Structure 1
Amino acid sequence: MEFKNNPFESGHIKNYILLYVSVVVIMILFFIAGELFIEPKEIEKKVFEVQEKTSEVKTQDSKEKEEFKPRFKLLEQPF
């Protein structure tokens, strides 16, 4: 079995490699061009005011525990 058109000898491999390299180079150039022309936006930093109410939270928790009443009463005898 003989190969009449050897791709290594006829130059087809060279053409495919050149095509691949040119596509990669074009992609890199578009990426660089896109990065150069995009201007960074300034983002306003938001500050949240937090007030510490630890003493009030503790008193509310203790009140809730004392005032806890179940919503439903369990039956003493099942049906």
Structure 2
Amino acid sequence: MQNPFESGHIKNYILFYVSVVVIMVLFFIASTIFRENKDIDKKVFNTKMSKTAQESRDIEEEPSLTSKIKLMDKPYK
């Protein structure tokens, strides 16, 4: 088996690692240069309800007196 330090394999691995890092840095720089900064307006929601909206909500929340579910006469064992 050859010694990797003497045969130059370590040099090739280091050059390969450095080239991968350089390519990643170049892609990062290219992506930041060509990125368009679009300003997005902040959405503001109206949290104060008018009286008519509150009244309609109160009417909807009233429970109905008639039930649509019929219970069984005797339970299963």
Out of 3, 6, 23, the residue aligned to residue 6 of structure 1 is 3
The alignment partner of 1:70 has SS state of coil
1:47 shift after superposition? 3.2
For structure 2, the 5+ residue unaligned runs are: none
Q: 1:34-53 residue pairs with structure 2 within 5 A?
A: 34-52=31-49
1:45 shift after superposition? 2.9
2-side partners of 1:40 and 1:24: how far apart?
26
For structure 1, the 5+ residue unaligned runs are: none
1-side partners of 2:27 and 2:71: how far apart?
73
Structure 2 partner of 1:56: 55
Give the alignment's TM-score, normalised by structure 2: 0.61
Aligned Cα root-mean-square deviation (Å): 3.0
Answer with 1 or 2: which has the greater Rg: 1
Count matched residues: 71
Give the alignment's TM-score, normalised by structure 1: 0.60
Give identity over the alignment, percent. Answer: 54
List 4+ stretches of structure 1 deviating above 6 A. Answer: none
Alpha carbons of structure 1 residues 36 and 74: separation in structure 2 relative to 1, 3 Å: closer
C-alpha distance after superposition, 1:31-72 (max 9, x if no partner): 1121122121122333333442575267423xx33x511235
What is the identity, as a one-letter code, of the residue corresponding to 2:3? N
